[in-house]
Amino acid sequence: MAYCPACKTEWEAPLRECPVCSGELTAEGEASGWTLLGTIRDKVSADFAQEVLSSYEIPAVVISKSGFFGQAGLTFNTFYKPGSSLFEISVPTEHVQEACEILTMAVGDNWQRKED
């Protein structure tokens, strides 16, 4: 069994690469080996961070938290202070330290490390 952290899919065959996204698959059971690194302020920075991390061969998953916006008649402004983070970024646990340094280099103040 193999697991794709990006697509959240499991594959029966002992594949090394995800047939859907060409991402690197992990052995089953390593799926929990991902750590939420922190939050990124805007989409441009999030895309850039992901791109830079991948150039260091660190896979990263970015989850948008802005899906709450745009629903007719509802405002969620009270949940979001100005400048609050809209994207969460996760990397494999073994890359946490390196990824933090890369993110600081790449997007600086536009990302914030999650406080433990």
CB of 55 to Zn ion, least distance (A): 19
Answer yes or no whether residue 63 interacts with Zn ion by CB under 5 A: no
Q: Which helix (H) or strand (E) holds 40?
A: strand 34-40
Look up residue 7 and give its two tokens: 């697509």
**Phi and psi angles of residue 8, each rounded to the nearest 5 degrees, phi first:** 55, 45
CB of 18 to Zn ion, least distance (A): 3
Answer yes or no whether residue 4 interacts with Zn ion by CB under 5 A: yes
For residues 89 and 61, what is the distance between their CA atoms, to the nearest angstrom? 6
- Summary count for the chain: helices (H), strands (E): 2, 7
Answer yes or no whether residue 62 interacts with Zn ion by CB under 5 A: no
Residue 107 contacts residue 100 (beta carbons within 8 Å): no
Answer yes or no whether residue 99 interacts with Zn ion by CB under 5 A: no
- Draw the binding track, 12-51, toward Zn ion (x: CB under 5 A; -: no contact): ------x-xx-x----------------------------
Answer yes or no whether residue 6 interacts with Zn ion by CB under 5 A: yes
Binding site for Zn ion (CB under 5 A): 4, 6-7, 18, 20-21, 23
